[in-house]
A and B are shown apart, each in its own frame.
Chain A
Amino acid sequence: MTSVHLYLAASAALFCLAVGALTRRRHLVSRILALNVCGSAVFLLFVTVAYRDAAAAPDPVPHAMVLTGIVVAVSATALALAVARRLARDLGRTELPDPHPDTESGE
């Protein structure tokens, strides 16, 4: 087991935790946060794959892609949060409407 295996496993774990949170959490900001963690997990995968051992220089192309990805992720997060806030202001709710209002807690 090397460091690469550790970080790859961490990437998979984070992605799965985030996908679970994306489906189970109801609050919009929680979901947007989950999407961000998904993105971070994918970035971790990219950079780990780009990593050679401590001696050789890493592959710079995935680094450039991750850099682009971080900036795009913050833009998308900002837009998503702005839409969520507008939704909250117009509808007075911070979750998406429940498609099956008869089941579970019923509302």
Chain B
Amino acid sequence: MTLELLLDLLLAAALVGLGWRALWSEDLFTSVVLFIAFGLLMAVVWVRLAAPDIALAEAAVGAGITGALLLDAARELRPTAREARRARRGATVVGALTFAAVLALFIVLAATMLELAEQRGGLAAAVVGAMPDAASAHPVTAVLLEFRGYDTWLETGVLLLAALGVLAVRGAQLPTDVDSGSEVVSAAPDRMLGALLRTLVPLLVLCAGYLLWLGTHAPGGAFQSGALLGAAGILLAVSGARSVTALGTIGLRLALLAGLVAFTVVAAGGALLGGSLFELPRAAAKVILVLVETAVAVSVGMTLTVLFVAGRPGGPAYSPVQREEPR
């Protein structure tokens, strides 16, 4: 057994162990913290599997932002005493049946996957063949923005839908309302956190810009960059900084829409200039793509911030009937 295989064995075992404890811990807070650790270990596994782009995205989005969302929700939705009691009930018939079914599923899946390990088809050769036509030097970016541009375009639409959904469920206007009851702006600013953020936020924006530029020829790109911007936005919101609301309603809406609109303009422009949808003129392609990526990064950052901030309670948002004491 080589050292590399041993390392992969340890990583895989640790991954499954962390996942098991994250899923089946009794305490919700423990679950969420272990899930964040699981996400970070997953990022290491991505590096082992030669996927640095995904490692960047997983660490920032999968572990970081999803972890922040889950922590926030776990804090608000702590289980009641009765629910905790019910969760602790012992083995039941349904439990045994579920265990048997899941075990059967595992056997079937494992057998299928081991068969998959033998087949090595895929589109790697096709991508290598098409790379000379691409404006990006990095294969993953080329696939994301050029060869599979449709998917990324619609992905920006999905992000917008999620942001609208969260805002709709919240039942309020955009979180730029400086309400006296709003938890976002009324949190007493922590001086230590404020001092940290004064250094951290500009660094995050700088790194985001660097990753954006890097994406044209190395692992990086719009989504990783947007994730860093989102992290900066969430940090600002959590620290109670007023800059989150300083953007104003129009600015917020523009930022949310920027990615989808830029992509649509490029797609339509390609069609209008006498080609098919998304067909870009060869000479200007790189510049256009960088502009689109910038718009997408800004959108992703703002969307992630809104997804976090708008999911929290605050503000006279709902009908007056709901103004009861929190549990």
Whether B170 sits at the interface, judged by CB under 8 Å, is: yes
How distant is the Cα of A90 from the Cα of B171 in the complex, in angstroms? Answer: 12
B-facing residues in A52-94 (Cβ within 8 Å): 52, 54, 56-68, 70-79, 81-86, 88-90, 92-94
Number of A-B contacts (CB under 8 A): 277
**Contact residue among B66, B80, B103, B143 (Cβ-Cβ distance under 8 Å from A36):** B66
Q: A61 contacts B109, CB within 8 Å?
A: no
B-facing residues in A33-59 (Cβ within 8 Å): 33-34, 36-37, 40-41, 43-45, 47-52, 54, 56-59
How distant is the Cα of A3 from the Cα of B120 in the complex, in angstroms? Answer: 15
B12 → A minimal CB distance (Å): 4
Residues in A whose Cβ lies below 8 Å from that of B13: 10
B258 → A minimal CB distance (Å): 16
Residues in A whose Cβ lies below 8 Å from that of B283: none
What per-residue 1/0 map shows which CB atoms of A11-53 lie under 8 Å from chain B?
1111111111101111111101110110011011101111110
How distant is the Cα of A18 from the Cα of B162 in the complex, in angstroms? Answer: 24
Residues in A whose Cβ lies below 8 Å from that of B45: 7, 44
A71 → B minimal CB distance (Å): 6
CB contact under 8 A between A84 and B62, given known A33-B23, A57-B139, A78-B162 = no
CB contact under 8 A between A45 and B113, given known A17-B19, A37-B22, A61-B127 = yes
What per-residue 1/0 map shows which CB atoms of B101-145 lie under 8 Å from chain A?
011011001100110110010111001000000000001101110
Residues in B whose Cβ lies below 8 Å from that of A67: 53-54, 57, 140, 144, 223
Q: A77 contacts B114, CB within 8 Å?
A: no
How distant is the Cα of A47 from the Cα of B50 in the complex, in angstroms? Answer: 9
CB contact under 8 A between A26 and B155, given known A49-B116, A74-B304, A89-B318 = no
A62 → B minimal CB distance (Å): 7
A15 → B minimal CB distance (Å): 7
Residues in A whose Cβ lies below 8 Å from that of B79: 27, 94
Whether A102 sits at the interface, judged by CB under 8 Å, is: no
**Contact residue among A13, A19, A60 (Cβ-Cβ distance under 8 Å from B143):** A60
How distant is the Cα of A59 from the Cα of B49 in the complex, in angstroms? Answer: 11
Residues in B whose Cβ lies below 8 Å from that of A57: 50, 124, 139
How distant is the Cα of A39 from the Cα of B45 in the complex, in angstroms? Answer: 15
How many residues of A sit at the interface, in one of the four size bands? 35 or more
B73 → A minimal CB distance (Å): 4
Whether B278 sits at the interface, judged by CB under 8 Å, is: no
Residues in B whose Cβ lies below 8 Å from that of A81: 69-70, 72-73, 311
A22 → B minimal CB distance (Å): 9
Q: A36 contacts B51, CB within 8 Å?
A: no
B124 → A minimal CB distance (Å): 4
Q: A94 contacts B87, CB within 8 Å?
A: no
Whether B48 sits at the interface, judged by CB under 8 Å, is: yes
Binds A, one of B91-99, B195-203, B249-257, B260-268: B91-99
On A, residues with C-beta under 8 Å from B are 1-21, 23-30, 32-34, 36-37, 40-41, 43-45, 47-52, 54, 56-68, 70-79, 81-86, 88-90, 92-95, 104-105, 107
On B, residues with C-beta under 8 Å from A are 4-5, 8-9, 12-13, 15-16, 19-20, 22-24, 28, 31-32, 35, 38-39, 42, 45-46, 48-51, 53-54, 57-58, 61-62, 65-66, 69-70, 72-74, 76-80, 82-83, 85-87, 89, 92, 95, 98-99, 102-103, 105-106, 109-110, 113-114, 116-117, 120, 122-124, 127, 139-140, 142-144, 147-148, 151-152, 155, 158-159, 161-163, 165-166, 169-171, 223, 300, 303-304, 307-308, 310-313, 318, 322, 324, 327
